[in-house]
């Protein structure tokens, strides 16, 4: 049994590779919900959907989020009404948000609705939101204004300095059903190559999760989302620096060292392996850029076998 801590695109690609190597039923993904947002009265869970669509073979390959072959007629009409259009919701994607919102309004928990959606999309990996409670990543940008994560990420194109990140609702949240058991019962816990600051940290913000992870440190393998000093996608490099860490595999090792025992870094960073190990983290060098499913599967194989 493998349990993976997952954010969006990088996690989805690694999980897509993993299902080539081990049966989907042997994998549980504990997914970030800090990116979730409410727009147009709809509950949108971008990371859950990115992982689900990717595993279903339905992801838009150009963007890494949303559905392939998407049309945008609702957004076009909304634009004519001068509604909110900075967050692009495709016509087919909207059905997912409608379904989720309706089920939540009926009193179903997010984890239950996620399992229903995953089943309808034919996804065999168990997808668990880290919590069923409302946990929202909030970002204080330069000048002191606090905004929601998607406003930072999409509306401002993460092109603004961040002073602080906090996880609203985290202190009152509890782990979703099965989350602690999945961490305790896994042979290996994999930390996907997701943003440490805004994808993995919200998972650790749920009380009970850090304790469960600390008890498994020897069996936790992370994949660096930083390759040759830069994030392949998104603002992980910039955010690490803004949080006082280096934008390098060494910075990632320092960030994760308290609860991760092994870090997989890219071949291009091989020279930094001793510096990673100086942070108290075992270092494994591999090809980590998942430009296709075969490369993702090869990386998954390394990650699964990387435990000390
Ligand atoms: N990302 C964008 O850069 N622009 C968008 O308009 C956008 C819309 C969107 C709609 C649904 C969804 O599930 C994801 C969407 N994303 C969009 C991606 C999302 O903002 C990010 O992938 C994550 O939240 C960061 O992991």
Tens digit of pLDDT per residue, the chain (308 long)?
Answer: 999 999 999 999 999 999 999 999 999 999 999 999 999 999 999 999 999 999 999 999 999 999 999 999 999 999 999 999 999 999 999 999 999 999 999 999 999 999 999 999 999 999 999 999 999 999 999 999 999 999 999 999 999 999 999 999 999 999 999 999 999 999 999 999 999 999 999 999 999 999 999 999 999 999 999 999 999 989 999 999 999 999 999 999 999 999 999 999 999 999 999 999 999 999 999 999 999 999 999 999 999 999 76
Residue nearest to atom 3 of ligand 1 (CA): 154
Residue nearest to atom 12 of ligand 1 (CA): 46
Q: Are 152 and 161 in contact (CB under 8 A)?
A: no
Q: Are 204 and 212 in contact (CB under 8 A)?
A: no
Give the containing element (helix H, strand E) for 253. helix 249-256
Question: Ligand 1 center to residue 216 CA distance, Å?
Answer: 32
Question: Ligand 1 center to residue 108 CA distance, Å?
Answer: 24
Cβ of 235 closer than 6 Å to ligand 1, yes or no, is: no
Ligand 1 atom at shortest distance from the alpha carbon of 53: 13
Write down the pLDDT at residue 243: 95
Write down the pLDDT at residue 307: 79
b/e 267-300 (16+ beta carbons within 10 angstroms → b): eebeebbebbeebebbbbbbebbbeeeeebbbbb
Residue 169 burial (10 A CB sphere; 0-12, 13-18, 19+):
middle
Write down the pLDDT at residue 180: 98
Residue nearest to atom 14 of ligand 1 (CA): 46
Cβ of 153 closer than 6 Å to ligand 1, yes or no, is: yes
Write down the pLDDT at residue 127: 98
Write down the pLDDT at residue 100: 98
What is the spatial distance between Cα 21 and Cα 24, in angstroms, rounded to a whole number?
Answer: 9
Cβ of 150 closer than 6 Å to ligand 1, yes or no, is: yes
Pocket residue to mutate for ligand 1, from 13, 65, 159, 225, most atoms within 8 A of Cβ: 65
Question: Ligand 1 center to residue 46 CA distance, Å?
Answer: 6
Cβ of 151 closer than 6 Å to ligand 1, yes or no, is: no
Domain assignments of the chain as residue spans, ordered by start: 2-135+171-304, 136-168
Does domain 2-135+171-304 match CATH 3.90.1150.10? no
């Amino acid at each position: 049994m493998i349990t993976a801590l997952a954010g969006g695109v990088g996690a989805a690609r690694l999980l897509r590779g993993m299902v080539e190597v081990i049966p989907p039923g042997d994998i549980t993904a504990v997914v970030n919900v800090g990116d979730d947002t409410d727009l147009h009265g709809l509950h949108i869970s971008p990371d859950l959907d990115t992982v689900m669509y990717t595993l279903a073979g339905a992801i838009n390959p150009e963007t890494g989020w949303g559905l392939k072959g998407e049309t945008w007629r609702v957004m076009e009409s909304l634009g004519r009404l001068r509604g909110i259009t900075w967050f692009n919701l495709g016509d087919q994607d909207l059905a997912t948000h409608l379904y989720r919102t309706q089920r939540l309004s009926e009193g179903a928990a997010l984890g239950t609705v996620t399992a229903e959606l995953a089943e309808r999309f034919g996804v065999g990996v168990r997808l668990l939101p880290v919590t069923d409670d409302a946990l929202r990543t909030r970002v204080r940008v330069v000048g002191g204004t606090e905004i929601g994560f998607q406003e930072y990420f999409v509306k401002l194109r993460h092109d603004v300095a961040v002073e602080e990140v906090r996880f609203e609702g985290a202190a009152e949240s509890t782990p979703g059903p099965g989350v602690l058991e999945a961490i305790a019962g896994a042979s290996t816990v994999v930390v996907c190559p997701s943003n440490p600051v805004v994808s993995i940290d919200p998972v650790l913000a749920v009380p009970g999760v850090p304790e469960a992870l600390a008890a498994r440190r020897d069996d936790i393998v992370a994949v660096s989302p930083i390759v040759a000093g830069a994030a392949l996608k998104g603002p992980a490099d910039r955010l690490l620096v803004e949080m006082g860490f280096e934008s390098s595999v060494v910075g990632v090792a320092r960030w994760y060292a308290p609860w991760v025992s092994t870090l997989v870094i890219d071949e291009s960073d091989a020279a930094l392996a001793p510096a990673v190990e100086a942070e108290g983290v075992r270092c494994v060098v591999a090809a980590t850029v998942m430009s296709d499913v075969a490369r993702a599967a090869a990386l998954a194989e390394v990650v699964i076998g990387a435990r000390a």
